[in-house]
Amino acid sequence: MQYTDKYAIREQNERIILHTIIQNGPLSRADLAKETGLNKGTVSEIVRVLLARKLINETGIGSSTEAGGRRPILLQFDQKAALTVAIDLGYNYLSSALMYLDGETIHETHRENYHVNRQTILAEVERLFQDYQSRAPETHYGISSVAIAIHGTVLHQQILFTPYYDLANLDMAEILTQKLGVPVYLENEANLSAIAEFAQDRSKRDLVSISIHSGVGAGILLDGKLHSGKNGYSGEIGHMILFPDGRPCPCGNHGCLEQYCSEKAVLEEFGRLKGITTPTIADVKAAFLTGDSETKALVDQTAKYLAIAINNVSNTFNPEIIYINSRLVDALPTMIPLVKENLTSFLTASITIQPSTLAKQAILQGASSIAAQRFLKLNE
Ligand SMILES: [Zn+2]
């Protein structure tokens, strides 16, 4: 056997053991051998390495085997071995958090009405990182990595298309990795939300998470794996055409879904109807609750468009569950039954649609999750 092959197998076995401890720990060495199918010698050797790397620790003592004998020492993942920084670059906000490897938040910040600027964004991220370094609690590895959510298309660490701010082709990952001295990962925000939903409930392995913010995007997980597509455009459901020759869209087409039912589009339409320059979700909610007929019609129409998107997504991927991550849906929970009313095809009859339980935390949680997974080399 080639040395490189042996090395690759060893790395793979390390991943299997660490993953098993994270998912099912605390476990004894014998439990690990049983669950992974690896022999006890291999398990002991890898456990020794993981203990030395401070990624796991020994905890308490398990119950003795049926045959009697020594009670085994249990092993558990040390989620406080390292920290991650998650950053969400929204079209009109900037959120960030310092987290442990399991997503437990130590500190977070949120700036509303923040507008991403190509000239200043790198310095802004550097400032955030330095601030978190000064706040970071003592851990073995310190801040291990940074993950940034981009509201646009990302492929292999490159930003390809950002319709509502100008970051396309800015090599953020490379420049920031050099500046900060830790790996910096970029990922699409809807994909991160889907990853966060899956981390909450791993029983549903085919899922779609629809994010409705500046645009409308979907994160698609098939059998628990993110489906990005050849160019990273998978899940760009905001650009499915709802009305041929409809409203122009920054993608180059006309009549794209997100020009009609994104949060931005709904707020703009509400503002136009009511003569308000900068309407908020709270304004829409208040008008809806007073029974205002124009607002009710707008909400009905938005639910109908959303149902068309869900119908198309469901007929393409047949997911078990569709999560909706939207401040508008959170403010007006009646939108979910309204959407369901519009799904009349027998093909969509069995689909579960529910609002994200993570809401605005989903993107940061997903970002922290990919940063942790890559630090722990669990995603290869
Ligand atoms: Zn478009």
Number of domains into which the chain is organized = 3
Span from the CA of 248 to the centroid of ligand 1 (angstroms):
8
Whole-angstrom distance, CA of residue 42 vs CA of residue 20: 15
Which pLDDT does position 240 carry in this prediction? 96
pLDDT surpassing 80 at residue 74: yes
19-46 mean pLDDT: 93
77, 94, 114 — which closes off a domain? 77
pLDDT surpassing 70 at residue 2: no
Which of 71-75, 294-298, 351-355 comes out lowest in average pLDDT?
A: 71-75
Q: Is residue 15 part of a domain?
A: yes
Which of 31-40, 98-107, 119-128, 227-236 comes out lowest in average pLDDT?
A: 227-236
Query: Do residues 332 and 288 touch, judged by C-beta distance below 8 A?
Result: yes
pLDDT, tens digit (0-9, with 9 covering 90-100), for 235-275? 999 999 999 999 999 989 999 999 999 999 999 999 999 99
Confidence of residue 315 (pLDDT cuts 50, 70, 90): very high
Residues 94 and 150 occupy one common structural domain: yes
Residues 186 and 206 occupy one common structural domain: no
Residues 208 and 339 occupy one common structural domain: yes
List the domain range (segments joined by +) for residue 139. Answer: 83-193+363-375
pLDDT, tens digit (0-9, with 9 covering 90-100), for 166-177? 999 899 999 999
Span from the CA of 249 to the centroid of ligand 1 (angstroms):
5
Which of 24-38, 171-185, 296-310 comes out lowest in average pLDDT?
A: 24-38
Span from the CA of 297 to the centroid of ligand 1 (angstroms):
24
121-142 mean pLDDT: 97
| Residue 20, domain CATH | 1.10.10.10
Residues 42 and 156 occupy one common structural domain: no
Q: Is residue 156 part of a domain?
A: yes
Q: Is residue 220 part of a domain?
A: yes
| Residue 248, domain CATH | 3.30.420.40
Q: Is residue 40 part of a domain?
A: yes
Residues 331 and 247 occupy one common structural domain: yes
**193 is written with which tokens?**
């939300």
Span from the CA of 254 to the centroid of ligand 1 (angstroms):
7
**What is the chain's mean pLDDT, rounded?**
92
115-130 mean pLDDT: 96
32-48 mean pLDDT: 94
Q: Is residue 127 part of a domain?
A: yes
95-101 mean pLDDT: 97
Span from the CA of 242 to the centroid of ligand 1 (angstroms):
10
Which pLDDT does position 68 carry in this prediction? 59
126-153 mean pLDDT: 96
Residues 281 and 147 occupy one common structural domain: no
Confidence of residue 360 (pLDDT cuts 50, 70, 90): confident
Span from the CA of 310 to the centroid of ligand 1 (angstroms):
17
Span from the CA of 368 to the centroid of ligand 1 (angstroms):
29
pLDDT surpassing 80 at residue 62: no
Which pLDDT does position 3 carry in this prediction? 55
Span from the CA of 343 to the centroid of ligand 1 (angstroms):
23
Span from the CA of 211 to the centroid of ligand 1 (angstroms):
15
**In terms of C-beta density within 10 A (0-12 exposed, 13-18 middle, 19 or more buried), how is residue 106 classed?**
middle
Residues 184 and 206 occupy one common structural domain: no
How far are the Cα atoms of 16, 47, 197, 292, 357 from residue 24, in angstroms, in the given order?
12, 15, 19, 52, 23
pLDDT, tens digit (0-9, with 9 covering 90-100), for 368-378? 999 999 999 88
The percent of residues above 90 in pLDDT, for the chain, comes to 80
Query: Do residues 98 and 136 touch, judged by C-beta distance below 8 A?
Result: yes
Task: Name the region of 157 (left: φ>0; alpha: ψ -120 to 50; beta: rest).
Answer: left
Residues 93 and 224 occupy one common structural domain: no
Span from the CA of 75 to the centroid of ligand 1 (angstroms):
50
pLDDT surpassing 70 at residue 40: yes
Which pLDDT does position 4 carry in this prediction? 61
Q: What is the widest separation between alpha-carbon atoms in the chain?
A: 78
30, 50, 77 — which closes off a domain? 77
Residues 188 and 90 occupy one common structural domain: yes
Span from the CA of 227 to the centroid of ligand 1 (angstroms):
20
77, 101, 123 — which closes off a domain? 77
Residues 17 and 66 occupy one common structural domain: yes
Span from the CA of 263 to the centroid of ligand 1 (angstroms):
15
Query: Do residues 227 and 243 touch, judged by C-beta distance below 8 A?
Result: no
Whole-angstrom distance, CA of residue 155 vs CA of residue 145: 19
Span from the CA of 212 to the centroid of ligand 1 (angstroms):
14
pLDDT surpassing 80 at residue 61: no
Q: Report the residue count for the chain.
A: 380
pLDDT surpassing 80 at residue 64: no
**338 is written with which tokens?**
């309204």
324-345 mean pLDDT: 93
How far are the Cα atoms of 260, 284, 299 from residue 289, in angstroms, in the given order?
22, 9, 11
Q: Is residue 380 part of a domain?
A: no
Query: Do residues 377 and 101 touch, judged by C-beta distance below 8 A?
Result: no
Residues 69 and 135 occupy one common structural domain: no
Q: Is residue 144 part of a domain?
A: yes
pLDDT surpassing 80 at residue 157: yes
Q: Is residue 286 part of a domain?
A: yes
Please give the radius of gyration of the chain, using alpha carbons only, rounded to the nearest integer.
23
Residues 212 and 345 occupy one common structural domain: yes
